[in-house]
Amino acid sequence: MANIIGKGGNKPQKASEQSTQQPKLDLGKSTPIVCAHCGYDVFIDGSKFRKLSKLITGTPQDVIVPIEVMMCGNCGEICEGAFSDCIGLTNLPTLTGVNTIGKFAFSGTGLTSASIPDNVITFDMNVFSGCESLTNIEISEDNDTFSFD
Ligand SMILES: [Zn+2]
């Protein structure tokens, strides 16, 4: 498992600070990611919700957990693993405007290090699963809202 450098934090995010921007990636040497179902290349934000039983969480009520996903803008197919198993990916795309990194987004890639900028608020621990070359995850000093799901 990679070392995690930086503090991160667990402050709840304010609704007013949430952004609906699409990820802005460095397109210099990129190839388009298209829907595996229909080939369309525009994705929209969506949310899935999971219910955790109070018997598991120990809380007075069941807990609803929202999970942000990217959906194909054409057919609605959910693309949870858009970057999965792209071994050639050794540099993290520019994450300008990204608040949440989706589940398994970079799993199985050849990333050697990852830097989490100020704007990324949360990601799932599975984001970097299977990244065997990844040794360091650096979290921006100024990022005090970051947390793991
Ligand atoms: Zn599609």
- Per-residue model confidence as pLDDT tens digits over 75-108: 887 766 554 555 666 666 666 666 777 777 777 6
Same domain, 106 and 70: no
Q: How far is the CA of 137 from the centre of ligand 1 (A)?
A: 32
Q: Does a structural domain hold residue 96?
A: yes
Cβ contact 124:149 at 8 Å: yes
CA of 146 relative to ligand 1 center, distance in Å: 31
| Residue 94 and residue 40 share a domain | no
Torsion of CA 136, 141, 145, 149, to 10 degrees: 10
Q: Is residue 18 part of a domain?
A: no
Q: Same domain for 98 and 60?
A: no
- Give, as residue ranges, everything with CB less than 5 Å from ion ligand 1: 35, 37-38, 40, 72, 74-75, 77
Separation of CA 69 and ligand 1 centre (Å): 14
Q: Are 111 and 141 members of one domain?
A: yes
Residues 122 and 108 in one domain: yes
**Three-state secondary structure call for residue 64:** strand
The residue behind tokens 């595996």 is 36
Residue 51, domain extent:
32-79
| Ligand 1 center to 13 CA (angstroms) | 31
| Pair type for strands 122-123 and 147-148 | parallel
In a domain, residue 144? The reply is: yes
Residue 79 Cα to ligand 1 midpoint, Å, equals: 9
75/79 Cα distance (integer angstroms): 11
48 shares a domain with 94: no
Kindly state whether residues 69 and 129 are assigned to the same domain: no
**57 C-alpha to ligand 1 centroid (Å):** 35
Write out pLDDT tens, residues 13-72. 554 444 555 556 566 666 777 887 888 888 887 777 777 787 877 778 887 777 667 788
Q: pTM of the full predicted structure?
A: 0.38
Give yes or no for residue 5 having a pLDDT over 60.
yes
98 and 115: one domain? Answer: yes
The count of domains in the chain is: 2
- Looking at the fold, whether 86 and 50 belong to one and the same domain comes out as no
